[in-house]
Amino acid sequence: MGRRKILFFDIDGTLWTMDGHIPESTREAIRRVRENGHLVFINSGRTRGYIRDPKLFTLGLDGVVSGCGTMIEANALCRGVSDRREDISPETDAENVIFYRKMSDEEALRIVDTVRRHRMKPILEGRDYLYMDPEEFAGDRYAEYVRHQMGDALRSINGNRGNWEISKISCDMKDADREACFAELDDAYTMIVHNEAVVEMVPKGFDKGTGIFEVCELLGTDIKDTYAFGDSMNDLEMIEAAGCGVVMGGGAEAVKKKADFVTKDLREDGIYYACRELGLL
């Protein structure tokens, strides 16, 4: 079988379609990869509080890198404290958290007050909760989706001022003074601009690629023994960081140019095809 490998998967557009469908071939690939002794991690820009769908966890996961590398979970087998393989569950188990970079209270207050002064509407993202003031997002379809997904794990920003537990934020920046805001926060945050309306703000020094490096350091794995699977621009750092970067057939052309292997579209059994061609099955 050779040395143990670690596979890191983006969620949207990689593990499942935008409407949340996971191909059966993807499930089969992950099952067989793990039977061969390899480890499977999610690697997402979402913070852990927003990775809650039980369907994801039925895949069988050894770990989760969340919040653009600001938090890492690994099961007991990964940590070397047991030879039993116990899957990561939808609810965070503190024993599995091997790294977490939380914003300080001062840092959180600074970024929230700054984005609001520049007319941005923030969503604060943390390990256990997301924070949003619904009145700011009246009629917004994405905000409705967040409310539906989060349930009672969605809390208000104003009602919990000074008590936020977060590691990054996202903002609606329609009608905002975005350039002035970016300039004011550029000393401490990387801006991931998704489109004219949406930006993620991540503490400098963190991204999906640094998450892979941190996992390798914590688990004693050579970076050459890692595989990253993604499809979009926010996967670029992990595609470049991993020993083998795999990009989905429907992925962004700019990311494909950085890939070591371009597979088929996820609907065309892209994960299974890549794992088979790369000798992981």
- pLDDT tens, residue by residue, 44-73: 999 999 999 999 999 999 999 999 999 999
Q: Report the share of the chain in percent with pLDDT over 70.
A: 99
Q: Residue for token digits 């499977």?
A: 40
Secondary-structure class of domain 105-203 per CATH: alpha beta
- For domain 6-101+206-277, the CATH class is alpha beta
Query: What average pLDDT does the segment 157-185 reach?
Result: 96
Query: Is residue 139 very low, low, confident or very high in pLDDT (cuts 50, 70, 90)?
Result: confident
Average pLDDT, the chain: 95
Determine the Cα–Cα distance for residues 16 and 236; give it in Å rounded to an integer.
18
DSSP code of residue 258 = T
Q: How far is CA 37 from CA 6, 218, 280, in A?
A: 10, 18, 10
| Number of Cα atoms under 13 Å in the Cβ half of residue 72 | 23
Please say if the pLDDT value at position 1 is more than 60. Answer: no
Domain spans in the chain, listed from the N-terminal domain onward: 6-101+206-277, 105-203
What is the spatial distance between Cα 273 and Cα 64, in angstroms, rounded to a whole number? 23
pLDDT of 228 > 80? The answer is: yes
pLDDT at 18: 87
Q: Considering the entire predicted model, what is its pTM?
A: 0.95
β-pair type (121-125, 168-172): antiparallel
pLDDT tens-digit series, residues 91-109: 999 999 999 999 999 999 9
